[in-house]
Copies of this chain bind each other. A is one copy, B any other.
Amino acid sequence: MKYEYLSNTPLEEAREKFLNSLKEAGTAYKTEVIRTRDAAGRVLARAHYARRSSPHYLSSAMDGIAISSKLIESANESSPAILKQSDFIMVDTGDPLPEGTDCVVMIEQVVENGDGTISLYSSAAPWSNVRQIGEDVSMGDMIAPSFARITPSLVGALLAGGVLDVEVVKIPSVALIPTGDEIVDSDSDLKEGDIPEYNSAIFSGMLAEWGAKGVVYPIVRDDPKLIKEVVSSAAKDHDAIIVIAGSSAGRDDYTSSVLAELGELVIHGIAIKPGKPAILGHIGPVPFFGVPGYPVSGIIVMEKIVRYALSMLTMIPAAEPEEVEVTVTRKAPSSLKYEEYIRCQAAQANGKIVAVPMSRGAGIVTGFSKASGMITVPQNCEGLEAGASIKMQPFRKLSDIENTLCVTGSHDPLIDEVADILIRSSGNINPVLISSSHVGSMGAITAVRNNEAHLGGIHLLDTETGIYNLSYIRKYFPNGGAVLIRGVIREQGLMITKGNPKGISGIKDLPGLSYVNRQKGAGTRILLDYLIEKEGITPDQIYGYTKEEYTHTAVAAAIASGTADCGMGIYSAAKTYDLDFLHLWDEQYDFLVAESAADDPRVLKFIEVLRSEEFRTRLEKMGGYVLKDTGDTVVI
């Protein structure tokens, strides 16, 4: 067993040391000359100066007549100047100013007398309505300095100044080399143990946003000789190299030793989480990055390190992300050893932005795409207390965050359908957006009570009365202040391996089977507990009772994969996974909202969707739902 410890270099120090080593190694941008017409979005490699003036001749700024201003010096309302045909020349906008004239009178001010002469009722200053030579730009003027980003209007300014070709910074080519024996093309059929390769696609997209171009290599096996061969050839063909995975110090991690042989290893291990096992160095002047294989770790290393180094090749500044102040809703502990990055879902509530820390797993790439932003817990900080104020780097526009309805609580795929209908029905013009998280029904009550979420999905059975939700809300909102929005009746039951090979006929069969449960506080788990108690079964009799999943689909996925025989969930999840379904219960799934938020326009839109035909159609297609009083509200 081989194990090497990595360094734990603080981020700033690692970045500085690395960038300095690149400077010393001569890392620098290249240039090329391209047509100005095609240059929008590129970066000027040097200052560019006008090669001609614009306009390049005296020209009329209007449709009208060109005259000598002296002819109408004394014209006024009561005594117009009368001009004969030889005194004036018709000109259109852009026409050259005719010899002997020095101003243009707008066509609207010309009165025709019918005999070929015209009357003008006011005087005009010399050069009025005449565009001077170089009015826009004069030959020799600097149009833009070095490293200016070429906006569309700068394309126009350059062409106006006769700059038909520009010297721009060449788009750096970055080799993306995925490695690993277990890695397969993401387009393949996956066998157990196969890990689909999609980091190269994520990183290519990021590189494009930063003005670089990713070139994806075929996957390289965990063989130091092969890796060395590929890297060594890539160093000749590209301006930077990113080796994906193999950056840690495990049995099959060869990236650092390959780099040390071919070039200079500058840093191995940064005090960030995720992203620690990053490798930074260079092969000659070509920057080299060993990026961890977990996608979230990889994205962080790209953002926090690669982006900065690439700006030496793109000359596009790696600006620090703009940030907004948020209030975190939950305690977020963090290690003293690392600077830690936590994705958050954010929404505006009571005039401030609240951020709910999301799952931090380094493999959870959906967390990135669902997040509203990311907060940074500094190194040497034990974490954040609930209610702490901190800066968040938003992934979305603030106006989108303002339009976001925060829905938490019990998982049901119908919430995603509502989200989609909200967007489609708006034509994507300022749609109400939904940010959803799954904390179970009890979590929903807490979150709505604490103003951490606008809406909470709940299905809480009062086992004494058989009535759902109302008694729980009354208990936690003893003085009122809550509104219940009627949702749907949905079928709960046991999702069972296709064909029911173990012959499961009900709750009583659970002991001896392999079960997969929902997390504490989930309505589905509360229902299970009620049902097993009725049967006289205790949790410790059920293998897998402690194996928790957060969604119906995750439970279904576990059963479909064969890691469990059954688990409780809703019909639509069983249907999606083609599982058998043993119906046990019809439950009321509703939404809780604080009374103060009940007439929030976003909430009203949400209710509108619940009542819509489109919603009914979609839920019928999913199956296992009955819509009754859906969208009605009950004030508690």
Could you tell me which A residues sit within 8 Å of B by CB distance? 1, 3, 36-37, 40-41, 47, 52-59, 61, 63, 90, 92-96, 107-108, 110, 112, 126-127, 131-147, 151-157, 159-162, 164, 180, 182, 186-187, 190, 192-193, 195-196, 198-199, 201-206, 208-209, 248, 250-252, 293-295, 299, 311-312, 315-317, 319, 322, 361, 363-370, 395, 397-399, 413, 416-417, 419-420, 423-424, 427-431, 546-547, 549, 551, 553-554, 556-558, 560-561, 563, 573, 576-577
Identity of the chain B residue whose Cβ is nearest the Cβ of A198 in the assembled complex: B159
Whether A132 contacts B365 by the Cβ 8 Å rule is no
Report how many copies the assembly holds.
Answer: 2
Q: Could you say which of B59, B61, B92, B140 contacts A553, with CB atoms under 8 Å apart?
A: B140
Q: Could you say which of B205, B560, B577 contacts A41, with CB atoms under 8 Å apart?
A: B205
Residues of B within 8 A of A131 (CB): 361, 363
Residues of B within 8 A of A554 (CB): 53, 132-135, 138
With contact pairs A126-B547, A133-B558 given, residues A160 and B365 touching in the complex (Cβ less than 8 Å)? yes
Q: Could you say which of B107, B192, B366, B429 contacts A96, with CB atoms under 8 Å apart?
A: B192
Residues of B within 8 A of A112 (CB): 1
With contact pairs A157-B368, A250-B63 given, residues A576 and B40 touching in the complex (Cβ less than 8 Å)? no
Residues of B within 8 A of A294 (CB): 93
Whether B201 contacts A159 by the Cβ 8 Å rule is yes
Q: Give A335 Cβ to nearest chain B Cβ, in Å.
A: 15
With contact pairs A95-B193, A156-B198, A563-B58 given, residues A553 and B413 touching in the complex (Cβ less than 8 Å)? no
Residues of B within 8 A of A202 (CB): 152-153, 155-156
Whether A156 contacts B427 by the Cβ 8 Å rule is no
With contact pairs A61-B363, A365-B160, A413-B141 given, residues A553 and B134 touching in the complex (Cβ less than 8 Å)? yes
List 22 A-B pairs, Cβ < 8 Å: A40-B201, A53-B561, A92-B252, A93-B293, A94-B293, A139-B556, A139-B557, A141-B413, A141-B416, A143-B366, A147-B428, A147-B431, A152-B202, A152-B299, A153-B365, A156-B198, A159-B196, A161-B366, A164-B187, A311-B429, A317-B429, A319-B397
Q: Could you say which of B160, B316, B576 contacts A140, with CB atoms under 8 Å apart?
A: B576
Docked Cα-Cα span, A423 to B61, in Å, equals 36
Identity of the chain B residue whose Cβ is nearest the Cβ of A197 in the assembled complex: B159
Residues of B within 8 A of A56 (CB): 190, 192, 561
Q: Could you say which of B36, B135, B413, B419 contacts A361, with CB atoms under 8 Å apart?
A: B135
Docked Cα-Cα span, A254 to B295, in Å, equals 57
**A-B contacts besides A47-B420, A139-B577, A160-B295, 14 pairs, CB < 8 Å:** A53-B554, A55-B195, A93-B250, A134-B558, A135-B364, A142-B417, A145-B419, A147-B423, A151-B205, A152-B205, A155-B205, A160-B365, A161-B366, A311-B429
Docked Cα-Cα span, A37 to B198, in Å, equals 8
With contact pairs A126-B547, A558-B132 given, residues A193 and B57 touching in the complex (Cβ less than 8 Å)? yes
Identity of the chain B residue whose Cβ is nearest the Cβ of A136 in the assembled complex: B364
Residues of B within 8 A of A195 (CB): 55, 94
Whether A413 contacts B363 by the Cβ 8 Å rule is no
Identity of the chain B residue whose Cβ is nearest the Cβ of A2 in the assembled complex: B107
Q: Give A390 Cβ to nearest chain B Cβ, in Å.
A: 20
Whether B424 contacts A146 by the Cβ 8 Å rule is yes
Whether A96 contacts B547 by the Cβ 8 Å rule is no
Residues of B within 8 A of A57 (CB): 192-193, 561
Q: Give A233 Cβ to nearest chain B Cβ, in Å.
A: 23
Docked Cα-Cα span, A546 to B319, in Å, equals 48
Docked Cα-Cα span, A430 to B187, in Å, equals 42
Docked Cα-Cα span, A232 to B61, in Å, equals 31
Whether B549 contacts A132 by the Cβ 8 Å rule is yes
Residues of B within 8 A of A366 (CB): 136-137, 143, 157, 160-161
Whether B108 contacts A3 by the Cβ 8 Å rule is yes
Residues of B within 8 A of A159 (CB): 186, 196, 198, 201
Whether B156 contacts A365 by the Cβ 8 Å rule is yes
Whether B561 contacts A107 by the Cβ 8 Å rule is no
Residues of B within 8 A of A576 (CB): 139-140
Docked Cα-Cα span, A58 to B564, in Å, equals 11
Docked Cα-Cα span, A251 to B208, in Å, equals 47
Docked Cα-Cα span, A144 to B365, in Å, equals 13
Whether B557 contacts A315 by the Cβ 8 Å rule is no
Identity of the chain B residue whose Cβ is nearest the Cβ of A165 in the assembled complex: B187
Residues of B within 8 A of A299 (CB): 152-153, 156
Docked Cα-Cα span, A312 to B427, in Å, equals 8
Whether A428 contacts B315 by the Cβ 8 Å rule is yes
Residues of B within 8 A of A58 (CB): 561, 563
Q: Give A133 Cβ to nearest chain B Cβ, in Å.
A: 5
Whether B40 contacts A204 by the Cβ 8 Å rule is yes
Docked Cα-Cα span, A299 to B309, in Å, equals 35
Docked Cα-Cα span, A141 to B475, in Å, equals 33
Residues of B within 8 A of A94 (CB): 180, 182, 193, 195, 293
Identity of the chain B residue whose Cβ is nearest the Cβ of A169 in the assembled complex: B428
Docked Cα-Cα span, A160 to B112, in Å, equals 75
Whether B156 contacts A201 by the Cβ 8 Å rule is yes
Whether B144 contacts A107 by the Cβ 8 Å rule is no
Docked Cα-Cα span, A316 to B430, in Å, equals 11
Whether A155 contacts B553 by the Cβ 8 Å rule is no
